[in-house]
Structure 1
Amino acid sequence: MRRRRVTLSQIAAELNVSTATVSLALRDNPAVSSETRQRVRERAADLGYIYNRQAASLRTARTNIIGVVVNDVINPYFAEVFRAVENELEREGVTILICNHRDDLARQQTFVSVLQQQNADGLVICPSLGTTAADIEQITRSGTPVTLICRDVEGATVPIVRGDDFKGTYDLTTHLISLGHKHIAMIGGRRKTSSGRDRYGGFLAAMEQAGLSVSETSDVPEIMTSAEGKAAVERLLLADPRPTAIVCFNDLLAIGVMSGLYRNKLRPGIDIAVTGFDDVDGSETWTPSLTTVRNGSDEIGRQAASAIMALVNDRPLPFDRLLIPPKLEIRESSPPPSPERKAS
């Protein structure tokens, strides 16, 4: 049978003190003597007492929980964002709950609803494909503060912090062009999201500025994972002209592309240049080390935590819209085109 939850009253009765004393002691309040605090903590542990957050939230109207809703928890970039958000919120005694909507709007709506039912103090959301300003307004109208990360939603009137995706791929593509690459492919990105649209836009702007065209066979949209990157290599190798460089939407795609090239007996960083985006932990130690764009995961996490806590505590917002400047990291995976490819 399920055991009944131990209450503050039970602990108080066993120690012959008031429930108020037990509550203060468990919160380490100095109004209770250190000896009594120790006795209460020990007895609570013996009895298996678990803090009832829901009951506490009825008294304080706060749960000290922030929901973080993103599209891909497997992507190490988001793990870095989570870490930064968590580190900042931990200082304020706040816990995060992570949900993975997989770019499914219905899943996102379900997670948001559950988090609201649990009285989460606020939500940090990387919005799903198809999210509208009305969707965000519906959340805030119910009283739940929201901060957006990594992707923008046109018309949404909530704080947003993300990387400058357009400039990141513009700088990256310009670098490849400066090395002599003319046939450059781009793969990946949900093109109807702000990040997918802007990264592709930065790529196109750099190509057009250099007077270079983009072959339809060298443009592979919508894919996001390393497995999809590996599979895309077969298509890219059949393109005419075959690309001498591949710009990947993120580092996960890049590692998949490099694996696919090895499988086809081609050497990334020698036979074909490969670049990523995000600069996830470890990308500099891959073979070859990955040329990529540092996309400010730590700064995005810190700023998102600052904004959501400002909303929760009714403090002045630190920003409305914040773009984190990208930083190009040039490494081994992006050499000039080989002489025979450059001449073709």
Structure 2
Amino acid sequence: MSDEESGSKTEPHRQSNQESHGLIDRSAPEPYLLKPGKRLTLGHIADQLGISTATVSLALRESPLVAEETRLKVKQTAEEIGYIYNRSAASLRTARSQIVGVAVHDIQNPFFAEVFSALEDVLEAQGQMIFICNHRDDVKRQRAFVNTLLQHRADGLILCPSIGTTAEEINRLVGQGIPVTLMAREVSGVWAPCVHGDDIKGGYLVTKHLIEKGHTRIGMVGGRRESSTGRDRHVGWKRALTEAGLNPSHQLDLPELMTQADGRLAVTTILEADERPTAIMGFNDLVAFGMMTSLRRAGIEPGPEMAITGYDDIDGADSRTPALTSVCNHADKIGRLAALTLLRQVTGERVPNNPILIEPELRVRESAPPPGVRLAPIVL
């Protein structure tokens, strides 16, 4: 048997070119090589640093009980050896998972992108991770997401409720001690707070603006009337018309439309109406954008030949041609207040289940002039 096979002799160490030129750092910690199926634990970090596992755990949770220098060493070592903090195990010890679920019906709507941005700023500052669900107004999809959150022991839920959501299912969560905050849409009879814009007032303001510009045939396009948002904006539209002596039942009213594609398709119906409207209140900016595109293709200029308004004042509304008159719903404020309201519940505070209304603001631009009038771009 050869020396190599028997292992009776050790081959002299030959220094590589890389070592001789200082390209390999022999002082760096050796990586942990574990058997398949084994996971790195807090103990590995503790052993490497010569401290207790309790100290390691506190350091990874940013506890002020651990000195800053120690926290930095623990984090650096965890990163070097590839340790991933086990939130599930930590939640069993602390009853907190640092996970918050957020569910909305249309994640592609830029309004919700603005809401999410504000939510993240607040929640991440408190160490919370966000799980997102786009339930698409499918209540079964929403319920499956909520069940998954419960299995992960989530700290709370921020929900723009799907059509078909019942007060009973929300109240069941609240009754189990799970913090819940609704946003954008209300559900009557729930035991949870709700942060949303004053949609009745917003619908009233924009319709009144069109009436003051001399329009008497003012249609409304869009909005799921089973949702509080669709219902309330519709109520505001009707209230302004009735106040001005105009019969809402004599106006064009096309419900359920929500997207740009819906707005484009609605134009055929608008143009074929027995009494074609001279102005349209779009349920949201996306519907308004879609209508403006199809009207222009049909040879009708949005603004002078048909006034168009939107709702939400999303990014880009002011840069369209013509710039879109819209109701600012303050998406950032809705997101921020929804997150803060949930965090108050997470810390054990009892929050009244009253609606938290955000005051809407009408942003007047070029798309909704008096009949036949072309407005010049507003120079800021």
TM-score w.r.t. length of structure 1: 0.92
Offset at residue 220 of structure 1 (A): 1.0
* 1:221-240 map, 5 Å: 221-240=255-274
Which amino acid in structure 1 is aligned with residue 214 of structure 2? G
Which amino acid in structure 1 is aligned with residue 224 of structure 2? R
* 1:1-344 map, 5 Å: 4-29=38-63, 36-214=70-248, 218-317=252-351, 320-338=354-372
2:36, 2:116 → 1: CA distance? 34
Secondary structure, counterpart of 1:108 in structure 2: helix
Confirm or deny: 8 A CA contact 1:217 1:236 kept in the other structure: no
Which amino acid in structure 2 is aligned with residue 229 of structure 1? G
Secondary structure, counterpart of 1:224 in structure 2: coil
1:32, 1:135 → 2: CA distance? 42
Confirm or deny: 8 A CA contact 1:217 1:240 kept in the other structure: no
Offset at residue 76 of structure 1 (A): 0.8
Secondary structure, counterpart of 1:124 in structure 2: strand
Confirm or deny: 8 A CA contact 2:104 2:162 kept in the other structure: yes
Offset at residue 38 of structure 1 (A): 4.3
Task: Tell me the alpha carbon deviations over residues 123-173 of structure 1, each in whole angstroms, 9 at most, x when there is no partner.
Answer: 111111111111211221232111111111111121111111111111111
Offset at residue 333 of structure 1 (A): 0.5
Structure 1 unaligned regions, length at least 5:
340-344
1:225, 1:244 → 2: CA distance? 22
Offset at residue 31 of structure 1 (A): 5.3
2:295, 2:285 → 1: CA distance? 15
1:253, 1:228 → 2: CA distance? 6
Secondary structure, counterpart of 1:56 in structure 2: helix
Secondary structure, counterpart of 2:220 in structure 1: strand
1:150, 1:6 → 2: CA distance? 43
The percent of aligned pairs where both chains have the same amino acid is 53
1:82, 1:25 → 2: CA distance? 29
Secondary structure, counterpart of 1:129 in structure 2: coil
Offset at residue 119 of structure 1 (A): 0.9
Offset at residue 37 of structure 1 (A): 4.2
1:187, 1:205 → 2: CA distance? 16
Confirm or deny: 8 A CA contact 1:307 1:318 kept in the other structure: no
2:62, 2:172 → 1: CA distance? 39
Structure 2 unaligned regions, length at least 5:
1-34, 374-380
Offset at residue 316 of structure 1 (A): 4.5
Offset at residue 25 of structure 1 (A): 3.7
